[in-house]
C-alpha cells in the first residue's frame, strides 16, 4: 500500500523507509508522490503541527499519509528549542544550529544538561481515519558534536554514553523518539 510521508526531509524519509517498508508499505516522500506542499506550522505543539501537515497532504492526495513533527526539548532551556527545533535561532544549517544550542548551554553544568527528543506522528489512512501518537527518548546534551551519522541535533544528543550520530541507524531506530512513536502507531493499527 502506498504511504506518503508529508515531508522532504531526507533524514526523516530514510528513517521511515527503514522502519515501515518491512511492514509492506511503499513509502515515499511528498516530492516522490508529486506533491508540492509547504504547510505553515502555526501550531504551538508537536501534535498540532503534525495534524496540520497530514491533513493538508491527505486533502491533496487521498491516500494514506503520515506526517510528523519532532524536535528537541532541553531541560535547562525550559523545553527549547521545542516546536522551533528546525528553525532554532533562525538558523537553517544543522551544524550551525547545534553550535548555537551548545553556546546557549555553555554555562550549564553537566548534571543539568538533560534533554529529550519528541516525535508526534499523525497518520491518516486511505479511509480518512486519523491516529496520533507520540514517542520520546531521554538523554543529555554533550559539550561538543560527536559522530558522523544522523541529522539535526543527533551529534549533540547523548543516549547511554554515545551521541545519536555515533549509533548505527538500525540501533538508533530501535530506541529513538521516531521509533517509539512508530511502535505506538503499529499497536494502534493492529487494534483496528
Q: In whole angstroms, give the CA distance from residue 4 to residue 1.
A: 10
Angle made by CA atoms 180, 182, 188, in degrees to the nearest 5: 110
Nearest to 20 by CA among 137, 177, 183, 190: 183
Nearest to 119 by CA among 64, 56, 24, 49: 49
Catalytic residue among 68, 69, 154, 180: 69
Q: In whole angstroms, give the CA distance from residue 58 to residue 60.
A: 5
- C-alpha cell read off for 123: 497518520
Task: Say whether 125 is catalytic.
Answer: no
Active site residues: 69
Amino acid at each position: 500500500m502506498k504511504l506518503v510521508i508529508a515531508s522532504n526531509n531526507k533524514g526523516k524519509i530514510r528513517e521511515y523507509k527503514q522502519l515501515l517498508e518491512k511492514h509492506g508499505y511503499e513509502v515515499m516522500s511528498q516530492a516522490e508522490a508529486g506533491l508540492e506542499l509547504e504547510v505553515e506550522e502555526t501550531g504551538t505543539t508537536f501534535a498540532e503541527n503534525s495534524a496540520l501537515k497530514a491533513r493538508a497532504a491527505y486533502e491533496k492526495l487521498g491516500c494514506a499519509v503520515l506526517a510528523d513533527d519532532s524536535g528537541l526539548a532541553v531541560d535547562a532551556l525550559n523545553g527549547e528549542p521545542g516546536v522551533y527545533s528546525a528553525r532554532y535561532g533562525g538558523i537553517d544549517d544543522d551544524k550551525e544550529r547545534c553550535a548555537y544550542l551548545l553556546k546557549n548551554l555553555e554555562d550549564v553544568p553537566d548534571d543539568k544538561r538533560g534533554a529529550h527528543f519528541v516525535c508526534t506522528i499523525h497518520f491518516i489512512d486511505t479511509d480518512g481515519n486519523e491516529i496520533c501518537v507520540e514517542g520520546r527518548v531521554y538523554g543529555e546534551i554533550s559539550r561538543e558534536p560527536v559522530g558522523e551519522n544522523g541529522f539535526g541535533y543527533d551529534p549533540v544528543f547523548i543516549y547511554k554514553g554515545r551521541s545519536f550520530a555515533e549509533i548505527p541507524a538500525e540501533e538508533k531506530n530501535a530506541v529513538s523518539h521516531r521509533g517509539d512513536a512508530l511502535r505506538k502507531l503499529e499497536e494502534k493499527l493492529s487494534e483496528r
